Amino acid sequence: MFTGIVAAVGRIETIKPAPGGVRLHIATAALDMGDVQLGDSIAVNGVCLTVVAFDQTYFEAEVSQASLGVVAGFDAGAAVNLEKALRLADRLGGHLMSGHVDGTGTVAQFEAVGDNRRLVIDAPAAIARYIARKGSIAVNGVSLTVNAVDGNAFEVNLIAHTLSATTLQQLKAGVPVNLEVDMLARYVERLHEAGGAGN
């Protein structure tokens, strides 16, 4: 589990073929690797990946072809948002996230509003149905609050701190982004379906 509070911005240094997918070598920059062990989970742009090799300056993880088909931002040289898995004693500053990206949306607008940025994203219909005003959404692994919803598009506000601490400052119209909807929305839908089936 993750919170969507990015700990560091790393960089994908190399991508090599691996059985069933690729192996990423990611420079961790300011991410504290002191308590990381083999098999730990680290979210990379919102995607939960398993550490298969590491030291204090990098880690490696394998990504399946199936995952590569539904996520964005895994390119050599790309800056990526990094977050280690949540521990029971950690503060929950964002919202609970699984690191299982639901799919990708496309940046429709990215404009300055004072020191902040107004970000509008077009989401696929299958994902948009779970997005609600004042609800939570993860964009490239960053926990954000939805300010408005218009059809399949939704809007969020990015404050200066979020811009400086994540890769979201690099967004522009037309760029794909990883989206993970609030898991509570999925549970509510499932409970509704289960209740309706018994009537």
Q: How far apart are CA 98 and CA 101, in angstroms?
A: 8
| Cα three-residue angle 70-127-184, rounded to 5 degrees | 110
What would the two tokens of residue 140 be?
A: 């490239």
Confidence of residue 197 (pLDDT cuts 50, 70, 90): low
Q: Which two tokens stand for residue 19?
A: 């059985």
Average pLDDT (64-75) is 94
Instruction: Return d(Cα 87, Cα 91) in angstroms, integer.
Output: 9
Q: How far is CA 149 from CA 43, 134, 137, 185, in A?
A: 26, 9, 12, 15
Q: What is the mean pLDDT of residues 33-48?
A: 97
Give dist(CA 178, CA 180) in Å, integer. Answer: 7
Cα separation of the two ends of the chain: 35
Residue 198 pLDDT level (bands cut at 50, 70, 90): low
Residue 40: how many CB atoms within 10 A of its CB?
A: 15
- Ramachandran region, residue 99 (left: φ > 0; alpha: ψ -120 to 50; beta: rest): left
pLDDT at 196: 59
CATH no. of 103-184: 2.40.30.20
Partnered with residue 41 across adjacent β-strands are: 50
Give pLDDT, residue 143.
97
Task: Provide φ and ψ at 165, rounded to 5°.
Answer: -100, 0
Average pLDDT, the chain: 94
The reply to whether domains 8-84 and 103-184 share a CATH topology is yes
Is the CB of residue 39 less than 8 Å from the CB of residue 77? no
Measured CA to CA, the distance from residue 138 to residue 3 in angstroms comes to: 9
Residues with Cβ within 8 Å of residue 83, at least 6 apart in sequence:
2, 3, 4, 5, 6, 7, 42, 43, 141
User: Right CATH number for 8-84 from 2.40.100.10, 3.30.1490.20, 2.40.30.20, 3.40.50.970?
Assistant: 2.40.30.20
High-pLDDT (> 90) share of the chain, %: 86
Q: Is the pLDDT of residue 52 over 60?
A: yes
Given a contact cutoff of 8 angstroms between Cβ atoms, the answer to whether 142 and 6 are in contact is yes
Task: Domain ranges for the chain, please list them.
Answer: 8-84, 103-184
Cα–Cα nearest to 5, from 80, 79, 68, 82: 82
Percent of the chain with pLDDT strictly greater than 70: 98
